[in-house]
Amino acid sequence: MFKAIFAVVAAMSLGSAAVAQSGEADSGDTRWSIAIHGGAGTIKRDKITPEQDRDIRAALSQALAAGSKILKDGGTALDAITATIMVLEDNPNFNAGKGAVFTWDRTNELDTSIMDGSDLSAGAVAGINGTKNPILLARAVKDHSPHVMLSGEGANQFSREQGLEQVTPDYYSTPRRLQQIEAVLAKEISAADVDYKFGTVGAVAQDRSGNMAAGTSTGGMTGKRWGRIGDSPIIGAGTYADNRSCAISATGSGEYFIRLGVAHEICARIRMRFSEAIKEAQLTVPKDKDDNYSYAIHASEFQLPDEEIQQIADDVIAELGELGGDGGIIYATPWGQAGYSFNTAGMYRGRATSEGEMGVAIYGDEE
């Protein structure tokens, strides 16, 4: 009986919980998956030119290809998301690295974080500048310091000591970002009234060894003041990874993601639901004449179906919306699933798996 139930659950779990296109299945023995995002917000067809649509899709595809190749070749989830985020940080279409938004004082303050789900190690930096690829600094904090988070000039100093590539302040600037901050300063209005898109970038992945990783990088909010820090560098809010449940990267109105602890909340619910599901499945196993189960279900041979993972993510994003927050998340699970949940009109996103799924999307109505 249980074998039949397990077969149904496994079949359900191989389905797609995300917007994607079919590709060629990987012939490898172990599953891998990756999901990426480049921000969420009022992303509608009538607000994006055909040229912007083309360029953003190309950038997402390039980033997805970089991470997918590493995973397909047997590389680690950490290396895959690092390479993926670097591609997005180098592209001026996103609010991270090159193309980061400006603060009220016409400066750039970048935030980023990274987490390894195999041992829960993490690194994060907030309010930095001077580092070409902030995600590399977050990883250096994780790998080469006793700390989890560094900020401001101290983080900049650590970056230089680690030998990371440095840039001058004008590197981050683009004409579009300059225009946005000038509009904010001239009218003294909020960033949301100027450009309601959260261009934060992120990636989550599971590698062939079953290890999870997550990373997020952002330039923050246009016109932010007083050293404001959002959810992107906050472990548990904008980034979280745990081999026992999932990897999450978020984008949106950071204050609400912090208050709800969105990234950790989703992972915690998946972990608890997984434990409950195993117990429920065990109850379906036949017993012998001594009232002992004839078969003990082990966690390694069980997984949550796509529908349950998606529902958990959707429930947390719904709670975010009830608080007044907008945005979305990407997820990867220990069972090879990858997907998204968002409450905005659109989200720049993409996913790929060893099962042959690969694709990128922008608008909310894309399948």
Q: Which residues are catalytic?
A: 200
- What is the number of other CB atoms lying within 10 angstroms of the CB of residue 294? 10
Torsion sign (Cα): 194, 236, 241, 70: positive
Q: Judge whether 190 and 223 are in contact, CB under 8 Å.
A: yes
Report the alpha-carbon distance of residue 349 to residue 134 in Å, rounded: 20
Q: What is the 3-state secondary structure (H, E, C) of 53-85?
A: HHHHHHHHHHHHHHHHHHHHCCCCHHHHHHHHH
Q: Name the token pair of 300.
A: 């390694």
Residue pair 250/198 in contact by the 8 Å Cβ criterion: no
> Cβ(19)–Cβ(350) under 8 Å?
no
Contact yes or no for 19/356 (Cβ under 8 A):
no
The token duo for 245 is: 């449940």
Q: What are phi and psi of 199, to 5 degrees?
A: -85, 10
Which residues touch 318 (CB under 8 Å, ≥6 apart)? 343
Taking the CA of residue 85 as centre, how many other CA atoms within 13 Å lie in the half-sphere pointing to its CB? Answer: 34
Helix 306-323 and helix 2-13: axis angle, to 10°?
Answer: 50
Q: Are 55 and 93 in contact (CB under 8 A)?
A: yes
> Residue 124: beta bridge partners?
113, 149
